[in-house]
Structure 1
């Protein structure tokens, strides 16, 4: 009783096709595929911009405690 047989999955598949129709299922799968492609493209774009940003030299910041606040080191940066 813990696992489903092939007949169970066949009946579930037929019910899904009857409820949604073949066109609707293929449309939803196409939308999922477009979302995955957009997500991967976004990741690739982010990696590209991160590479460009990290290629720039970091500005030199004075470690003088009497320096104005605009020249104070950023606490978010490590190193």
Structure 2
């Protein structure tokens, strides 16, 4: 059976994860969670500790591969953000 929870977004774009969901995900202060958009839905998952970089980076790497984003694209985006881009 589906369960529904409501959280309000603050002016800084932050939300409070309802207690029942924090318990179900076994998350606490300082933990990381992943929001994965799947069509019109969003899944929330507990992330592995950031010291396990391969597990932390896997969803990002997979998304880049799906969308055809290359390391050159990332470098250009960093240059653009720093105001160094020639484009």
TM-score, with length taken from structure 2: 0.28
Structure with the largest fraction of helix: 1
